[in-house]
C-alpha cells in the first residue's frame, strides 16, 4: 500500500518534470568541478554553488580546518550545554559578536550547526503563544518551517509589500510581533526593503528577523552583509548569517540583543538537542572571517560584482529575444525565468551538453509557472567563464528567437 502510493507519487513527479536527482561531485567545490554519472566522470563549468567568494576550497581555510582538527580532534563529543562547547566555538562567537556590533548595539552571536537550525531556533524560541509572526511570502523553507513549528500566530504578507505589512501590524494585538524576512531572496536575488521594514518595526513596537544567508560576506564594504550595505543599525534586529555559503565552511549564527541569545541558549531545541559542530569547523571559520574582512575579501567582492555586471549586460538582450525574464537582482543570484518546468529542464540539459551546469529550479521551490535557471556567480569565476555561459545560452535559445538575434 505505502509502496504503491509512493510509486504513484513518483510517476506524478516524472509526468510534471519535477523529479529531483542528486549529482555526485568527484572533485571539490570550484567553478570547474567533476561530476559522476552512470556514464563516467565529466568536468563541468558550474554556476550553481553558493560559494560566492570562492572560499570553500581556499588554501588558508583548508589549512585552518586541518589545523583545527589536529588541535581539537574530529568531533565535539556532545551538545553545547553538555561538554561540546569548545574554546574554538567560543572565540568564533566572540568574533562574530564584535562584527555585528556596528549594526546591532551590544550584539551577542550564537553559533549553530546549520542555518536551517538557526532559523528554527529563532522562530520557535521567540514565537510563543503571545506572539505573531509576520512572514514574507518568498521566505526560505527553513523560515516557513520555523513558523510552522512555532506556537505563535502566523500572518503572511506579499513580497516586498510594505503597505500590506503595515496594515497587518496595525490590526494585530498580540504583545509580541516579529517581522520575518530573507535579506536577499534565495530564488530571486532581490534585496528586502529592510529600511522600510525597520521603520515599521519601530512604529509598531515589533522586531525584525533578517535571514541573510546570501548577503553575509557578499554585501557591504566589509562583507558584513545586507545591514552594512543598507547602513542599518537597531537593537530591534535579530540577524541570521549563514557560514556555509560565502564563508565557505558550514553553520550559521544568530546575532541579537544578549537577552535574546541567552533565551535561545536555554530554550531553542535545535540548539540544545543536537551535538555541537566539530570545533575544527569553528576554527576554520575564524580564517574565513579574517579573509572576508580583509583586503582579500574586498578583492573577491569586487571580482564577484564585476562578474555580475558582465552577466547582466550580456544576458539582457538574449533573455529578451528568447522570451525569458532576467530577474532584477543586484546580487550573486541571477535567476533566468523560463516559465514552464519542462522548458527550464530542457534549457538546463542543453547547457549541460555544452559542458555547463546551471540548476533548473521548479515548483514547489518557486511558484507555478516560474520555473527558472538559477545562475549563481562566484568570485572564483573569470570573465571568460561568464562569456562561455553567455555563448551557450545564446546557442540554446528557442530556434525562432535565434534568427531575430543573429
As annotated, the binding site for pyridoxal 5'-phosphate includes: 115-116, 186, 214, 242
Q: Pick between residue 180 and residue 389 the one whose CB is nearest to ligand PLP.
A: 180
Rounded to whole angstroms, what are the CA distances from 318 to 116, 322, 390?
36, 6, 8
Q: Does 115 bind ligand PLP (CB under 6 A)?
A: yes
Rounded to a whole number of angstroms, the minimum distance from the CB of residue 83 to ligand PLP is 24
| Three-class secondary structure assignment of 162-217 | HHHHHHHHHCCCCCEEEEEEECECCCCCCECCHHHHHHHHHHCCCEEEEECCCCCC
CB 45 within 8 A of CB 390: no
Q: Does 138 bind ligand PLP (CB under 6 A)?
A: no
Residues 43/48/49/55 CA torsion (nearest 10 deg):
70
Of 7-15, 19-27, 208-216, 351-359, the segment contacting ligand PLP by CB under 6 A is: 208-216
Q: Pick between residue 181 and residue 287 the one whose CB is nearest to ligand PLP.
A: 181
Distance CA 56, CA 245 (A): 8
Distance CA 322, CA 342 (A): 16
Identify the residue among 46, 242, 334, 348 touching ligand PLP (CB under 6 A): 242
Q: Does 48 bind ligand PLP (CB under 6 A)?
A: no
Identify the residue among 188, 190, 211, 228 touching ligand PLP (CB under 6 A): 211
Q: Does 116 bind ligand PLP (CB under 6 A)?
A: yes
Q: Pick between residue 186 and residue 321 the one whose CB is nearest to ligand PLP.
A: 186
Q: Pick between residue 118 and residue 379 the one whose CB is nearest to ligand PLP.
A: 118
| Binding-site residue positions | 20, 115-116, 140, 186, 214, 242, 365
Q: Pick between residue 250 and residue 393 the one whose CB is nearest to ligand PLP.
A: 250
CB 250 within 8 A of CB 277: yes
Q: Pick between residue 362 and residue 394 the one whose CB is nearest to ligand PLP.
A: 362
The binding track of 177-196 with respect to ligand PLP, each residue x by CB under 6 A or -, is -----x---x----------
User: Within positions 319 to 338, which residues make up the interface with ligand PLP, using CB under 6 A?
Assistant: none
Closest CA to 238 of 107, 128, 384, 377: 107
Identify the residue among 252, 254, 284, 336 touching ligand PLP (CB under 6 A): 252
The residue number with the shortest CB distance to ligand PLP is 115
Distance CA 56, CA 288 (A): 9
Identify the residue among 33, 46, 124, 142 touching ligand PLP (CB under 6 A): 142
Rounded to whole angstroms, what are the CA distances from 284 to 58, 275, 360?
11, 18, 32
Cis ω before 364 (30° cut-off from 0): yes
Distance CA 246, CA 291 (A): 11
Distance CA 110, CA 90 (A): 9
Q: Does 376 bind ligand PLP (CB under 6 A)?
A: no
Count of residues near ligand PLP by CB under 6 A:
14
Identify the residue among 48, 76, 114, 378 touching ligand PLP (CB under 6 A): 114
Which positions lie near ligand PLP, rule CB under 6 A? Answer: 114-116, 119, 140, 142, 182, 186, 211, 213-214, 242, 244, 252
Amino acid at each position: 500500500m505505502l509502496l504503491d502510493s509512493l510509486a504513484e507519487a513518483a510517476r506524478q513527479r516524472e509526468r510534471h518534470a519535477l523529479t529531483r536527482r542528486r549529482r555526485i561531485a568527484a572533485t571539490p567545490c570550484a567553478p570547474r568541478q567533476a561530476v559522476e554519472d552512470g556514464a563516467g566522470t565529466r568536468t563541468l563549468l558550474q554556476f550553481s554553488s553558493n560559494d560566492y567568494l570562492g572560499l570553500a576550497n581556499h588554501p588558508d581555510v583548508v589549512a585552518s580546518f586541518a589545523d583545527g582538527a589536529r588541535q581539537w580532534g574530529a568531533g565535539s563529543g556532545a551538545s553545547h550545554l553538555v561538554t561540546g562547547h569548545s574554546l574554538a566555538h567560543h572565540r568564533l562567537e566572540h568574533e562574530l559578536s564584535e562584527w555585528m556590533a556596528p549594526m546591532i548595539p551590544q550584539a551577542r552571536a550564537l553559533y549553530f550547526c546549520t542555518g536551517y537550525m538557526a532559523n528554527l531556533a529563532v522562530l520557535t524560541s521567540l514565537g510563543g503563544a503571545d506572539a505573531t509572526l509576520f512572514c514574507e511570502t518568498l521566505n526560505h523553507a527553513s523560515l516557513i518551517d520555523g513558523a510552522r513549528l512555532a506556537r505563535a500566530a502566523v500572518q503572511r504578507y506579499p513580497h516586498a509589500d510594505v503597505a500590506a505589512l503595515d496594515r497587518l501590524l496595525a490590526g494585530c494585538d498580540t504583545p509580541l510581533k516579529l517581522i520575518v524576512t530573507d535579506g536577499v531572496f534565495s530564488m530571486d536575488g532581490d534585496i528586502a526593503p529592510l529600511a522600510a521594514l525597520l521603520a515599521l518595526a519601530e512604529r509598531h513596537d515589533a522586531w525584525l528577523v533578517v535571514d541573510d544567508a546570501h548577503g553575509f560576506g557578499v554585501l557591504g564594504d566589509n562583507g558584513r552583509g545586507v545591514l552594512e550595505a543598507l547602513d542599518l543599525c537597531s537593537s530591534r534586529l535579530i540577524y541570521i548569517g549563514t557560514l556555509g555559503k560565502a564563508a565557505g565552511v558550514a553553520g550559521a549564527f544568530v546575532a541579537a540583543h544578549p537577552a535574546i541569545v541567552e533565551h535561545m541558549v536555554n530554550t531553542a531545541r535545535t540548539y540544545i538537542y543536537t551535538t555541537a559542530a566539530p570545533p575544527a569547523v569553528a576554527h576554520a571559520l575564524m580564517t574565513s572571517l579574517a579573509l572576508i574582512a580583509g583586503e582579500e575579501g574586498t578583492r573577491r567582492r569586487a571580482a564577484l560584482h564585476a562578474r555580475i555586471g558582465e552577466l547582466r549586460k550580456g544576458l539582457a538582450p538574449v533573455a529578451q529575444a528568447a522570451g525569458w525574464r532576467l530577474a532584477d537582482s543586484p546580487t550573486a543570484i541571477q535567476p533566468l525565468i523560463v516559465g514552464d518546468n519542462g522548458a527550464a529542464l530542457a534549457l538546463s540539459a542543453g547547457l549541460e551538453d555544452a559542458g555547463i551546469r546551471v540548476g533548473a529550479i521548479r515548483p514547489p521551490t518557486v511558484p507555478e509557472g516560474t520555473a527558472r535557471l538559477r545562475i549563481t556567480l562566484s568570485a572564483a569565476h573569470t570573465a571568460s567563464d561568464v562569456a562561455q555561459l553567455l555563448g551557450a545560452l545564446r546557442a540554446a535559445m528557442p530556434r525562432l528567437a535565434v534568427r531575430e538575434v543573429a
